């Protein structure tokens, strides 16, 4: 393999990886405060993309994206308030089933609003054939956008969860709901807030990946599966680990193409997920002790 080809695969892998990672981060936020997996996360990604595409016909791109993120956050909050907030001590399983229901609901609603067609946002810089030369390989500027948005989100999130009181309150909720309540934290508000935050991040992800992957009413599902794989791979709840795991998975997938036919790409990533679940259920970068304390 020539060095040029090596970098070409590497770049492809990083592209896949950062798309997966940016979706995985959304899973982690809700998991961090509620201990549940929000299976409607993929739909937030789709909604963000779709809303931005619709708004872009009237507004300039940055405004359209900003507004789409805000609207999706609002939808996230509404969903939590309508479907989850009023439940009295809901079990984990019940909340997960609810999120699956919500995902189907959003998907069908999107089908009615936007129809079955494929749409996409324009490339943020250049167009479909613009590339930047890097280490002798070509890379689309949009990939750089995905990577940088992904890293900025991770950076801001880790600061938010570590150093702000709101972030610490959210983490307290995840660690022990009862203790958090006793400390005077409104756990219900924290859950609503986490839905808003993950909806917003999902929507932003949906906007930056839309030019590469396209957006369709059901495109959230596929992204969610990969995002979930990556979240589990890295260790649920850890955004930094999700990025590392995402890029690792992306690179493995890309290089797998060089040896086996493309058709096996997904089989490899799912096989990897199963392997991790058997050997290291707490993820590649998670700690066994911490995982042991959680319900799920």
Partner 1 sequence: MRRFFLSAVTVLALWAMAIFIALPTAVAQAKSIKVGAILAETGGASNLGGPEARTIKMQVEQINAKGGINGDTIELIVKDSGSTPEKAISFAKQLIEEEKVLAILGPSTSGETMAIKQICEDGKTILLSCAAAEKIVNPVAKYVFKTPQKDSYAVKKIYMEMQKMGIAKIAVLAGNDGFGMAGKEQLEAIAPEMGIQIVAAEVYDKGATDLSAVVAKIKANTEIQAVVNWSIVPAQAIVVKNIRQAGWNVPIFQSHGFGNLKYVEAAGAAAEGLIFPAGRLLIADTLPADHQQKNILTQYSTEYQTKFQEPASTFGGHGYDAIMILAEAMKKAGSSDSEKVRNAIENLQGFVGTAGIFNFSPADHNGLDIESFAMLTVKDGKFVQYNEPPVLKTISVVK
The contact set with partner 1 (CB under 8 A) reads 2, 5, 8-9, 11-13, 15-16, 19, 111, 115-118, 120, 122-123, 127-131, 138-140, 209, 212-214, 216-219, 222-223, 253-255, 257-258, 261-263, 265-266
Whole-number minimum distance, CB 32 to partner 1, in Å?
26
Residue where the block lists tokens 């880790």: 158
Cα–Cα distances in angstroms (integers) from residue 7 to residues 11, 13, 34, 213, in the given order: 6, 9, 40, 21
Q: Which of residues 100 and 111 has its CB atom nearest to partner 1 in the complex?
A: 111
Whole-number minimum distance, CB 53 to partner 1, in Å?
12
Residue 66 exposure: Cα atoms within 13 Å on the Cβ side = 5
Cβ-in-10-Å burial (0-12, 13-18, 19+) of 91 comes to: exposed
Whole-number minimum distance, CB 5 to partner 1, in Å?
5
Q: Which of residues 252 and 291 has its CB atom nearest to partner 1 in the complex?
A: 252
Contact (Cβ atoms closer than 8 angstroms) between residue 195 and residue 173: no
Q: Which of residues 90 and 222 has its CB atom nearest to partner 1 in the complex?
A: 222
∠ at Cα 48 (44, 51), nearest 5°? 130
Distance of CA 33 to the CA centre of its chain: 16
Whole-number minimum distance, CB 73 to partner 1, in Å?
24
Whole-number minimum distance, CB 133 to partner 1, in Å?
8
∠ at Cα 82 (76, 86), nearest 5°? 120
Alpha-carbon distance of 47 to 44, in angstroms, equals: 5
Alpha-carbon distance of 270 to 224, in angstroms, equals: 13
Q: Read out DSSP for 122-139? A: PPSSS-TT--EEETTEEE
∠ at Cα 74 (70, 80), nearest 5°? 145
Q: Which of residues 128 and 271 has its CB atom nearest to partner 1 in the complex?
A: 128
Instruction: Read off the tokens for 76.
Output: 């996230």
Q: Which of residues 190 and 203 has its CB atom nearest to partner 1 in the complex?
A: 203
Helix intervals (H) in 235-287: 239-259, 265-279
Q: Which of residues 91 and 127 has its CB atom nearest to partner 1 in the complex?
A: 127
Whole-number minimum distance, CB 112 to partner 1, in Å?
11
Whole-number minimum distance, CB 227 to partner 1, in Å?
11
Q: Which of residues 191 and 225 has its CB atom nearest to partner 1 in the complex?
A: 225
């Amino acid at each position: 393999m020539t060095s040029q080809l090596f970098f070409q695969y590497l770049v492809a892998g990083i592209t896949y990886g950062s798309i997966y990672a940016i979706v995985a981060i959304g899973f982690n936020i809700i998991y961090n405060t509620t201990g549940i997996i929000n299976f409607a996360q993929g739909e937030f990604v789709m909604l963000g993309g779709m809303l931005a595409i619709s708004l872009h016909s009237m507004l300039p791109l940055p405004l359209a994206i900003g507004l789409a993120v805000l609207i999706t956050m609002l939808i996230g909050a509404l969903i939590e308030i309508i479907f989850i907030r009023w439940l009295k001590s809901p079990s984990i399983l019940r909340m997960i089933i609810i999120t699956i229901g919500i995902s189907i609901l959003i998907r069908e609603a999107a089908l009615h609003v936007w129809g079955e067609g494929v749409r996409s946002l324009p490339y943020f810089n250049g167009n479909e054939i613009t590339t930047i030369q890097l280490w002798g390989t070509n890379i689309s500027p949009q990939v750089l956008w995905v990577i940088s948005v992904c890293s900025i989100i991770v950076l801001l999130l880790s600061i938010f969860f570590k150093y702000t009181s709101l972030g610490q309150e959210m983490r307290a909720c995840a660690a022990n709901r009862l203790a958090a309540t006793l400390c005077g934290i409104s756990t219900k508000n924290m859950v609503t807030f986490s839905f808003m935050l993950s909806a917003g991040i999902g929507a932003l992800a949906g906007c930056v990946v839309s030019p590469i992957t396209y957006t369709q009413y059901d495109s959230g599902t596929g992204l969610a599966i990969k995002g979930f794989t990556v979240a589990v791979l890295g260790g649920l709840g850890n955004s930094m680990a999700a990025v590392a795991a995402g890029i690792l998975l992306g690179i493995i997938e890309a290089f797998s193409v060089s040896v086996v036919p493309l058709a096996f790409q997904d089989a490899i990533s799912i096989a990897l997920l199963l392997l991790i679940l058997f050997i290291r259920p707490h993820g590649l970068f998670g700690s066994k002790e911490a995982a042991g304390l959680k319900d799920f």
